């Protein structure tokens, strides 16, 4: 075998070990019977999984997370759908710049975004914790929503709308009965992708939490500051399963090609 | 009264003017084609008539009524798109019935009309199929049926056949012509294909740079193009610049250099004017240089086989000329004489620009 081939294989292996290794360790330790996080477990059990559902702080944090993600996704969709539609239909020169602007929350580090939101929006405008949290999540979801819907709209040529209009539809009606049914799977994929992004977010959320309002990842973070039992590992396993399930749904509805498409 | 009238239409994208004060009239029941290469303004014209594009100046009249401000959905025109633009989420039946549904026509009546349309385009057996399950020709027919189902006052077609293969294009254009004539439909047809255009149209408007160069029946345009642009479009390959001279009884076309003169039968162009002489490749007779005939001497550069004959590219002192023969072929580097057939000659005025 050529030397370069060997180097490639070794580096691929290393990447996979560093990427997947920690997840495997966490996965195993979630099934540990013992009171402490150790690896590999000596006795396996599901007790920490049951513990999660018995603990009020995780259940209520998860409910908060769900509510915030659902509200944020709805908001992101309400803003993102019209934005994606106009972006995909315009031929103006500013199209690219505006698209990049909408993508910027992905590029700016979460910590920066979270801190900026806290200092210059939430505190400056004296916004209530819940509202600030939903707004922040809407912001981090917006790029995904726009990206996926723009990509999905590129498969719906404008002539289809014009055909509907020439046959007697108003512009709005044409959008509702001709465009919308053809981007349904794109919208679903956009929402799910935004949803998991929001559900798993830590860096932005940590700045926006307040009394009585905390999300699951933040709750997990504060839990591991005090406890060393495998509850958080068990919870991580559940979150990973949820993410994998959602990704499978996205892949089967519209594919993940929008990540690579321009 | 004319059915559709375009008056002084001017259109522009940003700073670029694509239509310059265009005037055109379409008669009831007539299929009029806009013929031209890309960027000549033909599609722009169609889009203004449909209402999808706003003109900068000028008006569109339908049966004497100004419709420039009418929303496209209220014009009642059928539009056939180049990419068909069928609704992918609806089956053939619902695609064709779409316009009638928007018009709140009763279910039974829609059904009746849809199958009448599908019978017309011979697709009744495909009513339940989705557009993606159909071939290109079938999609094209669905698009036509969908546009005609609303009994449009005017049918607009934008290069409807350009995505089909050659054999299907010929079949479909006869089909479109048959349906249009049977139902006495007034139609505006946009194409860049001269043959397709001539085979389907009652009249043709040849467009160039936002203006109509010539308007006439296909026969008129084919046999007597008015400008060199049109001539080039209808198969004239040889263009020679020269001066018209009246020498006693006969009219002669004289080339400035080389002293070559060609007799002309008659012309309405005044004496001594500069003109362009245009000839199709089959209007130049090719003879071996030993023959005593008078003509343009030259040397064959290359000969190619066309099926119905041979085409020669001949180097002469007037530049390269193209001449076709039926069955005789002259090999490259042969010295030949080119004899213009006076009946095939067309004289065109030189544009003063």
**Predicted ipTM?**
0.84
Bridging pattern class, strands B319-325 and B284-288: unpaired
Report in angstroms the alpha-carbon separations of B166 from B122, B169, B201.
20, 5, 19
What are the backbone dihedrals phi and psi of residue B238, each rounded to the nearest 5 degrees, phi first? -110, 125
Same domain, B110 and B164: yes
Strand order in the sheet with B284-288: B284-288, B335-340, B296-305, B310-316, B319-325
Strands B274-279 and B319-325, bridge-based pairing? unpaired
Q: B79 CB near a chain A CB, below 8 Å?
A: yes
Residue B180 and residue B64 share a domain: yes
B239: Cα within 13 Å, side-chain hemisphere: 17
Domain membership flag for residue A14 = no
The mean pLDDT of B233-244, rounded to a whole number, is 89
With beta carbons less than 8 A apart as the criterion, state whether A153 and A183 touch: yes
Give the residue numbers spanning the domain of B53.
4-232
Over pLDDT 70: what percentage of chain A? 96
Domain range for A128 is 51-259
Domain boundary among B189, B215, B232: B232
Helix (H, G, I), strand (E, B), or coil: what is residue B134? Answer: coil
CB pairs under 8 A between A and B: 59
**CATH number of the domain enclosing B22:** 3.40.50.300
> pLDDT at position B353, please?
43
Give the start-end residues of each E strand in chain B.
4-13, 16-26, 31-35, 57-62, 65-66, 77-80, 154-158, 187-191, 203-208, 211-216, 238-247, 250-254, 261-264, 274-279, 284-288, 296-305, 310-316, 319-325, 335-340, 346-349
Q: How confident is the model at residue A1 (pLDDT cuts 50, 70, 90)?
A: low
Domain count, chain A: 1
* Cβ-based neighbour number of residue B347 at 10 Å: 18
The alpha carbon of residue B353 is apart from the nearest alpha carbon of chain A, in Å, by 34
Q: Taking CB atoms and an 8 Å limit, are A167 and B83 in contact across chains?
A: no
Is B183 in the same domain as B38? yes
B303-323: average pLDDT: 91
Residues A102-131: tens digit of each pLDDT: 888 888 999 999 999 999 988 999 889 999
Task: pLDDT band for B1, please (50, 70, 90 cuts).
Answer: low
Least trusted range by pLDDT, from A158-172, B89-103, B137-151, B339-353: B339-353
Instruction: Count Cα atoms within 13 angstroms, Cβ side, for B20.
Output: 11
In this complex, the residue of A165, A178, A181 whose CB is nearest that of residue B72 is: A165
Contact A169 B52 (CB under 8 A): no
- The mean per-residue pLDDT over the stretch B274-297 comes to 86
Looking at B191, B207, B232, the residue that finishes a domain is B232
Residue A92: what pLDDT? 82
Domain check: are B255 and B281 in the same one?
A: yes
Contact B245, B280 (CB under 8 A): no
Average of per-residue pLDDT across A228-255: 86
| Average pLDDT estimate for A140-157 | 92
- Which position has the higher pLDDT, A22 or B98? B98
pLDDT, position B311 = 94
Predicted local distance difference test score (pLDDT) of residue B352: 53
Q: Is B78 on the interface with A (CB under 8 A)?
A: yes
CB–CB contact B81 A159 (8 Å): yes
Q: Are residues B283 and B297 in the same domain?
A: yes
Strands (E), A3-71: none
Sort out which chain A residues have CB atoms less than 8 A from B50's CB and list them: 162, 166
Cβ contact (<8 Å) for B72 and A157? no
Mean pLDDT throughout B242-257?
Answer: 80
Q: Is pLDDT of B245 > 60?
A: yes
Instruction: Say which residues have a Cβ less than 8 Å from residue B199's Cβ, sequence separation at least 6.
Output: B173, B174, B177, B218
Alpha-carbon distance values, B66 to B28, B30, B52 (Å): 17, 20, 16
Q: How confident is the model at residue A253 (pLDDT cuts 50, 70, 90)?
A: confident
Parallel, antiparallel or unpaired: strands B310-316 and B319-325: antiparallel
My answer on whether B214 and B266 are in the same domain is: no
Same domain, B306 and B327: yes
Q: Which of B232, B249, B276 is a domain's end point?
A: B232
- The residues near B12 (Cβ < 8 Å, ≥ 6 apart) are B18, B19, B56
A159, A160, A165 ranked by CB distance to B73: nearest? A165
Side-by-side strand order, sheet with B261-264: B261-264, B250-254, B238-247, B274-279, B346-349
A120 in a domain, yes or no? yes
pLDDT tens digit string along B148-203? 999 999 999 999 998 888 888 898 899 999 999 999 999 999 999 999 999 999 99
Instruction: Inform me whether the C-beta atom of residue B150 falls under 8 Å from chain A C-beta atoms.
Output: yes
> Considering the domain boundaries, does residue A151 fall inside one?
yes
CB atoms under 10 Å from CB of B177, counted, come to: 17
CATH number, residue B253: 2.40.50.140
**Does B49 lie in the same domain as B190?**
yes
> Residue A122 sits in a domain of what CATH number?
1.10.3720.10
Higher pLDDT, B74 or B273: B74
Average pLDDT, chain A: 89
CB contact under 8 A, B79 and A163: yes
Are B221 and B241 members of one domain?
no
Chain A hits for B103, Cβ within 8 Å: 168
Residue A261 clears pLDDT 60, i.e. is over it = no
pLDDT at B243: 86
pLDDT category of residue A213 using cuts at 50, 70 and 90: confident
Is A262's pLDDT higher than 50?
A: no
B266 in the same domain as B205: no
**Disruptive mutation site among B13, B16, B48, B79 for chain A (greatest number of A CBs within 10 Å):** B79
Is residue B116 located within the same domain as residue B242?
no
- For chain B, the average pLDDT equals 90
A20/A10 Cα distance (integer angstroms): 15
Across A46-72, average pLDDT: 91
Query: Domains in chain B: how many in total?
Result: 2
Flag whether A45 is in a domain.
Answer: no
Residues B64 and B186 in one domain: yes
B88 interface with A at CB cutoff 8 Å? yes
């Amino acid at each position: 075998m050529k030397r370069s081939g060997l180097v490639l294989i070794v580096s691929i292996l290393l990447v996979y070990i560093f990427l997947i290794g920690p997840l495997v360790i966490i996965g195993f330790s979630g099934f540990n019977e013992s009171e402490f996080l150790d690896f590999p477990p000596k006795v396996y059990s599901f007790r920490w999984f049951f513990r999660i559902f018995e603990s009020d702080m995780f259940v209520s944090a998860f409910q908060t997370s769900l509510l915030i993600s659902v509200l944020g996704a709805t908001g992101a969709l309400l803003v993102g759908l019209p934005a994606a539609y106009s972006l995909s239909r315009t031929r103006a020169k500013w199209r690219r710049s505006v698209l990049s602007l909408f993508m910027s929350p992905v590029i700016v580090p979460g910590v920066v975004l979270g801190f900026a939101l806290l200092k210059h929006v939430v505190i400056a405008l004296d916004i209530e914790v819940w509202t600030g949290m939903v707004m922040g999540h809407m912001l981090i979801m917006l790029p995904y929503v726009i990206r996926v819907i723009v990509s999905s709209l590129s498969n719906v040529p404008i002539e289809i709308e014009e055909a509907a209009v020439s046959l007697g539809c108003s512009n709005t009606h044409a959008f509702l009965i001709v465009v919308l049914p053809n981007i349904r799977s794109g919208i679903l994929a956009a929402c799910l992708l935004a949803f998991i992004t929001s559900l798993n977010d830590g860096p932005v959320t940590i700045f926006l939490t307040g009394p009585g309002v905390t999300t699951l990842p933040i709750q997990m973070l504060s839990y591991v500051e005090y406890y060393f039992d495998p509850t958080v590992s068990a919870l991580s396993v559940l979150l990973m399963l949820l993410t994998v399930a959602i990704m499978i749904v996205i892949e089967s509805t519209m594919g993940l090609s929008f990540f690579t498409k321009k | 009264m004319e059915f559709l009238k375009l008056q002084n239409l001017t259109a522009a994208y940003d700073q670029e003017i694509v239509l310059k004060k265009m005037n055109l009239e379409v008669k009831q029941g007539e299929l009029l084609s806009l013929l031209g290469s890309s960027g000549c303004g033909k599609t722009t014209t169609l889009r203004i008539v449909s209402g999808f594009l706003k003109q900068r100046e000028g008006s569109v009249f339908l049966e004497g009524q100004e419709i420039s401000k009418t929303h496209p959905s209220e014009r009642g025109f059928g539009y056939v798109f180049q990419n068909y633009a069928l609704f992918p989420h609806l089956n053939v039946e619902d695609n064709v019935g779409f316009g009638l549904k928007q018009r709140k026509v009763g279910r039974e009546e829609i059904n009746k009309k849809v199958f009448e349309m599908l019978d017309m385009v011979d697709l009744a057996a495909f009513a339940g199929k989705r557009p993606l399950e159909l071939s290109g020709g079938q999609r094209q027919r669905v698009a036509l049926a969908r546009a005609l189902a609303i009994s449009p006052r005017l049918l607009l077609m934008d290069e409807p056949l350009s995505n089909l293969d050659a054999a299907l294009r010929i079949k479909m254009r006869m089909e479109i012509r048959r349906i249009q004539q049977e139902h006495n439909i007034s139609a505006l047809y946009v194409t860049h294909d001269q043959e397709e255009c001539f085979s389907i149209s009652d009249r043709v408007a040849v467009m160039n740079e936002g203006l109509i160069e010539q308007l006439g029946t296909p026969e008129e345009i084919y046999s007597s193009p008015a400008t060199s642009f049109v001539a080039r479009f209808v198969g004239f390959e040889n263009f020679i610049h020269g001066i018209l001279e009246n020498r006693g009884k006969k009219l002669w076309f004289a080339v400035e250099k080389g002293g070559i003169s060609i007799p002309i039968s008659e012309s309405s162009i005044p004496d001594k004017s500069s003109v362009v002489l245009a000839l199709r490749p089959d209007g130049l007779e090719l003879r071996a240089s030993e023959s005593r005939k008078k003509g343009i001497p030259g040397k064959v550069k290359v000969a190619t086989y066309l099926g119905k004959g041979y085409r020669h590219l001949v180097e002469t002192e007037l530049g390269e000329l193209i001449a076709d023969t039926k069955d005789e072929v002259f090999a490259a580097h042969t010295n030949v004489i080119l004899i213009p057939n006076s009946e095939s000659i067309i004289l065109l005025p030189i544009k003063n620009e």
